[in-house]
């Protein structure tokens, strides 16, 4: 096994003021551990507010973790010198291609920002060539280098964002909902491109999305999160075909199948109620308030991740 990234007991709490001189800790990510192998895509799914984006951002130290360790390529990430090197090798693609590109910068400058920050090119000519190379790589017309972001469509903007992420020749990219804002036909273009780039540049992805069919398509393994906790982690086919955790089971059954006959046959498990507030996470298992199989044990202690089948991890008392 060749692990590129190892996360151990990652916690990310945010202080929220809940009254006069009173703060409560919002546990966005609570004790999450996983690892990502070289060249692999790990998918991260969950509903809004479950902490999947926070995991991605904390991994890249955009937030300083409250607790836990992040190991990248055998080195622990944390101090300033390791961070600088790490940030060159790990990049991020953001969800919203409209707000993640500076409207006052030209495409060339946006794409070259990591190059300038890390001083990767010594001459102007070299920088220019690299920009051209990157734009071609993501299928953008190099003649458009002097244009501004607003002159492009959503799909093209996402390509600019990807070109920027690739500029420092990273090994690891956190893709935070990179296709959620795009139309289906454009979404497929970007997914195919991400897969091609992964092959060509031997990249490793953490792919965060809420669309399970997209995550299943692109990922080798999938992790499911709920209220800051990891509920299940397994190989993509295994997780979608034989989900074990009651939450994953209902999540899979809720996905509408784009096939009328199949969907008539589909048995839906409709969950009652809403996701509880992350400020008031239920005691024990966070899912127990909506779980049909909850017992008194679920109330008392939070289940730990156990390996139920080879490579299939579940955090549930009843599995």
Partner 1 sequence: MSLLEVKDLHTSFFTAAGEVKAVNGLCFNLEEGKVLGIVGESGSGKSVTAYSILQILTHPGRIVSGSIKFRGEELVGKSDEEMRHIRGNKISIIFQDPMTSLNPTFTIGNQLREAIMMHTDRNREQAHTRAIEMLRLVGINEPEKRIHQYAYELSGGMRQRVMIAMALACEPDILIADEPTTALDVTIQAQILELMMRLQKEFGMAIMMITHDMGVIANVCDEVIVMYAGGVCERGTTDEIFYHPKHEYTRGLMRSIPDMNDDEKTPLIPIAGTPIDLLHMPPGCPFSPRCERAMKICLKEKPKEYWVAHDHLSACWMNVKDGVCFDAQPSEGELG
Structure tokens belonging to residue 155 = 């799909």
**37 lines the binding site for partner 1 (CB under 8 A):** no
Tokens of residue 73, six digits:
């390529």
**In this chain, which of 27, 157, 164, 216 binds partner 1, going by CB under 8 A?**
216
Angstrom distance (rounded) from CA 58 to CA 279: 19
Name the H helices within the chain.
52-59, 80-89, 107-117, 124-137, 154-166, 184-201, 212-218, 236-241, 246-254, 260-265, 296-300
For partner 1, the closer of residues 38 and 217 by Cβ is 217
Total Cβ atoms within 10 A of residue 300: 12
Question: Using the rule CB under 8 A, is 274 a contact of partner 1?
Answer: yes
How far does Cα 235 stand from its chain's mean position?
Answer: 16
Can residue 213 be called a binding residue for partner 1 (CB under 8 A)? Answer: yes
Distance CA 166, CA 151 (A): 22
Residue 46 near residue 210 (C-beta atoms within 8 A): yes
> Which one among 64, 81, 125, 185 touches partner 1, defined by CB under 8 A?
185
Tell me if 48 contacts partner 1 by CB under 8 A.
yes
Q: Which span (6-14, 95-103, 152-160, 310-318) binds partner 1, by CB under 8 A? A: 152-160
Selected binder of partner 1 within 250, 298, 303, 314 (CB under 8 A): 250
Judged by beta carbon, residue 56 or residue 65, the one nearer partner 1 is: 56
* 216 vs 229 by CB, closer to partner 1: 216
Helix (H, G, I), strand (E, B) or coil at 269: coil
Nearer to partner 1, 90 or 175 (CB): 175
CB atoms under 10 Å from CB of 126, counted, come to 12
Q: Using the rule CB under 8 A, is 256 a contact of partner 1? A: yes
The stretch near partner 1 (CB under 8 A) out of 22-30, 111-119, 209-217, 302-310 is: 209-217
Residues near partner 1 (CB under 8 A) are 47-48, 153, 155-156, 183-189, 191-192, 195, 210, 212-214, 216-218, 237, 240, 250-251, 253-263, 268, 270-271, 274-275
């Amino acid at each position: 096994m060749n692990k590129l990234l190892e996360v151990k007991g990652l916690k990310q709490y945010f202080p929220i003021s809940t009254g006069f001189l009173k703060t409560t800790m919002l546990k966005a990510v609570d004790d999450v551990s996983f690892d990502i192998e070289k060249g692999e895509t790990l998918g991260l799914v969950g509903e809004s507010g479950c902490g999947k984006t926070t995991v991605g951002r904390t991994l890249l130290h955009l937030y300083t973790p409250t607790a836990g360790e992040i190991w990248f390529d055998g080195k622990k990430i944390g101090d300033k010198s390791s961070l600088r090197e790490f940030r060159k090798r790990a990049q991020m693609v953001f969800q919203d291609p409209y707000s993640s590109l500076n409207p006052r910068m030209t495409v060339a400058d946006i794409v070259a920002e990591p190059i300038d920050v890390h001083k990767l090119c010594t001459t102007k000519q070299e920088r220019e060539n690299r920009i051209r190379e990157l734009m071609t790589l993501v299928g953008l017309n190099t003649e458009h280098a002097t244009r501004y972001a607003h002159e492009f469509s959503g799909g093209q903007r996402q390509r600019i964002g990807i070109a920027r992420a690739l500029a420092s020749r990273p090994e690891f990219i956190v893709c935070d909902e990179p296709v959620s804002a795009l139309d289906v036909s454009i979404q497929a273009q970007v997914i195919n491109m991400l897969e091609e780039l992964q092959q060509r540049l031997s990249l490793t992805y953490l792919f965060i999305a809420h669309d399970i069919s997209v995550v299943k398509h692109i990922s080798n393994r999938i992790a499911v999160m709920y209220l800051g906790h990891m509920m299940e982690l397994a190989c993509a086919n295994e997780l979608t075909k034989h989900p074990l955790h009651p939450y994953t089971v209902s999540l899979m059954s809720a996905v509408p199948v784009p096939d009328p006959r199949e969907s008539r046959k589909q048995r839906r498990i409709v969950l009652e109620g809403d996701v509880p507030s992350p400020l008031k996470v239920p005691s024990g298992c966070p899912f127990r308030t909506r779980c049909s199989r909850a017992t008194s044990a679920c109330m008392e202690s939070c289940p730990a991740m156990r390996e139920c089948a080879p490579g299939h991890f579940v955090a549930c008392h009843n599995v």
